[in-house]
Structure 1
Amino acid sequence: MTEQAPVIISSESPFATDVFVKRHPALVERILGAWPLGPEQQQALRNLSDENVSGVMERLPAGAPAADQWQAWGRDYYGKPWTEAPFLWAESFFYRRLLNAVGYFGEGIWKGVDLFAPFKQAELAGEVVAAEVRALGHLANLADDDRGQALLLSSLWGNRADLSFQIQAGRASEISGLVADDSDDLWKLLDATRGGSLAIVADNAGSELIADLVLTDHLLASGTVGEVVLYVKPTPYYVSDATIADVADCLRKLVAVDGAAREVGERLRGAAAAGQLCVRTDPFFCAPFDFTAMPDTLRTQFASASATILKGDLNYRRLVGDRWWDPTVPFGQVTSYFPGPVAALRTLKSDVVVGLEPGTLATLEASGAAWRTAGTHALFQVS
């Protein structure tokens, strides 16, 4: 792996600073408005919100699950403002504190309750997902390559998936907003390992997970891969991140709709029963580190796959490291540690990016747009 760039500290990034002083307090208010939380829970959440804005980072309470582990992980950051810690680390710890504040890990009635479920379910019941499932019937008329590319774009863009599904032909390079496009390399990789095992590390629930599942069905049904291992988060995380419950919700959504969507859902259930679709998780997916720190068990699993696809912005930050890289540093150079071929499908929603052509970078920088963080640009990258 290449020489490391400096880690992104939140105070050094206007975007990251806003996450703590604006986005997290807004999220706390949404949660307070969505659940009948008791006075102690409400106070704990408001304290966490205030702490993010103007206080210092506090430890997990003594006796909280994994408190000793987090104490060791964060010993350099406690007692300091949240924005003085590495962005990736502090964001992860915020969600751990959030769950602890309402008793997610305790023995009461709030044990295991996904605080973000109302927001995920609202998206699943919304028009974007409805447009996705309606559009599935049109895909049958596409050539196999064009169908696969349309589904790949849907998986990439997430909440713009309804637009991607309706692409009748054309390659990803013709779609506006792509800052890097290795999609042809991804298809070549999958063809070269045809019938092998593909690992997909999911990102968001809702429309994006629907798109991931439909892409999975296509890859299995076409024989492009013989097995898909879908990795999800072990606990609720980053509001919209997918858990096993979200996979089940999406499958129920598909089979509840007549036509092509139901056929997809039923094939996926059959694939799961046959061992061709496996859903897994690992505590590391909610740890505050990048993938260079992955445990040996997870490294072995990725090494056994013919290829791994990492979805979304957070997984990208964890893959390349949440660092101030020169954007033209090659993607393959910073991901050479990964135990096997790896692809990133990511909509840009944070500062870090690598693997851009100098000309592309110059054009983006000259545009004056917040192209790194606004979610208007995306990339396919393969190593």
Structure 2
Amino acid sequence: MEIVIDSETPPNEKLCAKYKKSFAYPTVTERLPVIVTSIIDTLVRDKNELSDECRTESKSVIGELSELKYMLQTAKPIVSFTSSEPDTEQWNKHVERYQNQVNEELTFYNGPWLFVECYLYRRIREIFILSESLKEYDPFGDKKETVLTNSLPVMEPVFEHLLQDNILDTSPLKTTDLIQEFSKLIKLCLWANRVDLSMSSGNTDNCCNQLNIDEWDKYILSDDTEKVLNIIFSPSSPTKGEKIVDYVLDNSGLELLSDLCLADFLVTRCGVDRVRLRVKRIPWFVSDVTTIDLEHTLKVFSESQSQQCRTLGTRWREYIDKGIWTVTGDVYWTLGLSYDEMQEADPGLYSELEKAALIIFKGDLNYRKLIQDTAWAPGTSLSTALGRFHPGPLVAIRTLKADTVAGIESELYNATSSKSPDWLISGQYGLIQFDSYVQ
């Protein structure tokens, strides 16, 4: 029987669902079972749209998903993977490692929250990849499509401004205007991160509202935009050659559209030679961007009734075709490890990141992985929380949706806690945090 402790996660401990007053606990007991149920409901709803083979096989897939939900709800042991996916061996090593650490059967309750939540999505992938006819099925595809459709009207004023006011071309722009436009875009990317389907358990209702970015400045607890500007507008180092920005994406839909606007601005106005868009290799945390999602977004733009969308779709397709933007789905992003372990676990990826002038990390999960999903004591610096992960200058852009944070002064931390007790998990507050420490 699982022992659940009626307390918050102790300071400087890894987040874990065994602590009943942590956000990990309701995630495992409530949110994750709802997400699995929603996949089952989607398969049942859409069965008549599937081929005969897929429809027949969907019955066994639904049975396995039901078993996964049961495993979640009854704290059954986590099991290894058997597929021939490129990450299977790594995942099984990590399952064994955490099994040894807990010194008992590893479950969703006693394993680190970061690991077990990632495990759930990898387990969902395993169920589909082991089928014959549903290997390429995206169980979250319909939800991402809804968010994309609902995002277009919200972004229309942004597209209009960028194109009609010549922000995305090489015509002269005052330095003050350049800084102002960059600042507006980075805030747009921040607040678009509020639309996260893993947080709403896949519910797409009211997921795309008007982005009142200028009205939400009071909710930005740390804003290092000026430090980012200093890096991005500085000349590229002769030793590094071309100026590269690595952009580690988070959600599709509204957030992806905002990110692509910023990526366009980087190559158009900031002297960036190449933006490497880092996406997820498999369907992940409901709404995370995969290569297929990005390609579908560009297709939607190319076929849009809106001239602005078609114009941007053409620009963005050309960036990819010319190699100005590259799109890669590295395995590491869909492992259950923090980035503190990257240099040892994936030295090739770490070495690539070292070549970037700036690394942009979007969203809550990337942030959790950056700071090791730990309940850091108030006042802990971001550099300390990053542990061994210091490949180069980086900025984390995140709305707070998990009870872990670093780089916030104790006084501000305590004041915000008093004013908004759920500030760490509500998604109301945001961070634009920069770190330049290099090992």
2:283 to 236, 241, 245: 236
1:206 to 240, 253, 257: 253
Counterpart residue identity of residue 181, structure 2: R
Are 2:358 and 1:310 equivalent residues in the alignment? no
Match of 1:148 in 2: 182
1:369 to 416, 421, 428: 421
Match of 1:353 in 2: 405
Match of 1:45 in 2: 65
Q: Give distance in 1, aligned partners of 2:83 and 2:395.
A: 40
Q: Give distance in 1, aligned partners of 2:315 and 2:335.
A: 33
Greater mean alpha carbon deviation, residues 367-376 or residues 58-67: 58-67
Please report how far the alpha carbon of residue 67 of structure 1 lies from its aligned counterpart in structure 2 after TM superposition: 4.9
Match of 1:95 in 2: 121
Q: Identical aligned pairs, as a percentage? A: 25
Q: Give distance in 1, aligned partners of 2:290 and 2:221.
A: 29
Deviations 1:205-236 (A, max 9, x none): 11101110111111111143121000001111
Contact 2:91 2:335 in 1 (8 A): no
Counterpart residue identity of residue 337, structure 1: F
Please report how far the alpha carbon of residue 20 of structure 1 lies from its aligned counterpart in structure 2 after TM superposition: 1.2
Match of 1:264 in 2: 312
Match of 1:178 in 2: 220
The correspondence of residues 159-308 of structure 1 with structure 2, limited to 5 A, is 163-164=210-211, 175-193=217-235, 196-255=243-302, 256-294=304-342, 295-308=346-359
Counterpart residue identity of residue 118, structure 2: S
Unaligned runs of 5+ in 2: 1-10, 48-54, 168-176, 195-207, 237-241
Structure 1 segments (4+ residues) deviating >6 Å: none
Note closer, same or farther for the CA distance 1:67–1:227 as it changes in structure 2 (3 Å cut): closer
Are 2:152 and 1:129 equivalent residues in the alignment? yes
Q: Give distance in 2, aligned partners of 1:254 and 1:326.
A: 45
Please report how far the alpha carbon of residue 32 of structure 1 lies from its aligned counterpart in structure 2 after TM superposition: 1.3
Counterpart residue identity of residue 133, structure 1: E
Greater mean alpha carbon deviation, residues 309-318 or residues 221-230: 221-230
Deviations 1:107-141 (A, max 9, x none): 61111221111110011111x33221343213444
Equivalent position SS for 1:285: helix
Deviations 1:155-177 (A, max 9, x none): 1112568644x76xx7x9x7131
Note closer, same or farther for the CA distance 1:67–1:271 as it changes in structure 2 (3 Å cut): closer
2:109 to 54, 59, 83: 83
Equivalent position SS for 2:18: helix
Equivalent position SS for 1:271: helix
Q: Give the TM-score of the pair, scaled to structure 1.
A: 0.90
Counterpart residue identity of residue 112, structure 2: P
Contact 2:341 2:389 in 1 (8 A): no
Please report how far the alpha carbon of residue 21 of structure 1 lies from its aligned counterpart in structure 2 after TM superposition: 1.1
Please report how far the alpha carbon of residue 63 of structure 1 lies from its aligned counterpart in structure 2 after TM superposition: 5.4
Note closer, same or farther for the CA distance 1:307–1:159 as it changes in structure 2 (3 Å cut): closer
Deviations 1:242-281 (A, max 9, x none): 1001111222233325333332222211111221111112
Contact 2:80 2:92 in 1 (8 A): yes
Unaligned runs of 5+ in 1: none
Superposition RMSD in Å: 2.3
Equivalent position SS for 1:84: coil
Match of 1:329 in 2: 380
Contact 1:57 1:81 in 2 (8 A): yes
Match of 2:8 in 1: none
Match of 2:171 in 1: none
Greater mean alpha carbon deviation, residues 193-202 or residues 340-349: 193-202
Equivalent position SS for 1:149: helix
Q: Give the TM-score of the pair, scaled to structure 2.
A: 0.79
Q: Give distance in 2, aligned partners of 1:48 and 1:348.
A: 28
Contact 2:248 2:279 in 1 (8 A): yes
Counterpart residue identity of residue 176, structure 1: K
Deviations 1:31-65 (A, max 9, x none): 11212363221111111111111132231354564
Corresponding pairs, count: 372
Q: Give distance in 1, aligned partners of 2:282 and 2:426.
A: 26
